[in-house]
Amino acid sequence: MTLQSLPSPIPSCKWLVDHMVELGFLRSLSEWIGSNLKRSGDSETWAFNLDGAIQMFKSYRETSYWSLLANPPKATEISFVIAEKSDRWNKDTTRRLETIAKQRHNVSEEKVSTHVLRNSAHWVHTEKKLYNSFVYSFFLICCRKYAGETLDTLKRAIHEATAKSKYFKL
């Protein structure tokens, strides 16, 4: 089954989740897919351009980013979240990323970093520990972006950035 093979529009989020579970998908994955729907009259449609997402994923799969990671553009910071128990990261890839991160660690700009989430599987966005790991980093990013602004401006920016998130609530 592919997302393109589903009826359009989709009867309901519940229908989608139940249909995917019947096809053998995990309920958590099915619910996550369902979170990408938006109401359109009496049914649901994708909240994103499905064909565009498929093209971007295909491009991602066909492109090598190793040279970019070894020499990122100026003023760039690239962070990888690696779920320790994920089946998406093999040990060679993880080691290679960690080696690049160590080489770029003391560089003032163009940093690459890795964050290993111990005892986590692929779907880290559903785990509380992801929230705990990234609240501090998110806060620092906001502080850098809004340096010199008032505390109210910073609070408003954080609120706006997290308001639509199912996982990040302040």
**What average pLDDT does the segment 123-143 reach?**
64
Average per-residue pLDDT for the chain: 81
Whether 20 has a pLDDT exceeding 70, the answer reads yes
**What average pLDDT does the segment 96-124 reach?**
79
Q: What is the pLDDT of residue 126?
A: 64
C-alpha to C-alpha distance for 147 and 165, rounded to whole angstroms: 24
Q: What is the pLDDT of residue 59?
A: 93
C-alpha to C-alpha distance for 149 and 111, rounded to whole angstroms: 25
Q: What is the pLDDT of residue 68?
A: 92
First to last CA, the chain: 37
Q: What is the pLDDT of residue 99?
A: 92
Beta strands at 43-46 and 37-40: parallel, antiparallel or unpaired: antiparallel
**What average pLDDT does the segment 135-144 reach?**
67
Dihedral angle computed from the Cα positions of residues 49, 50, 54 and 60, in that order, rounded to the nearest 10 degrees: 40
CA distances from 70 to 1, 79, 97, 162 (A): 37, 13, 9, 32
Q: What is the pLDDT of residue 113?
A: 85
Which pTM does this prediction carry?
A: 0.56
- The DSSP symbol for 10 reads B
**What average pLDDT does the segment 91-113 reach?**
83
* Tens-digit pLDDT profile for residues 51-101: 998 899 899 889 999 999 988 888 888 888 888 888 888 889 999 999 998
Whether 166 has a pLDDT exceeding 60, the answer reads no
Sign of the dihedral through C-alpha 149, 155, 158, 164: negative
Whether 22 has a pLDDT exceeding 90, the answer reads yes
Q: Please give the single-letter amino acid code of residue 119.
A: N
Residue 68: closest CA among 82, 78, 59, 57:
78
Q: What is the pLDDT of residue 8?
A: 87
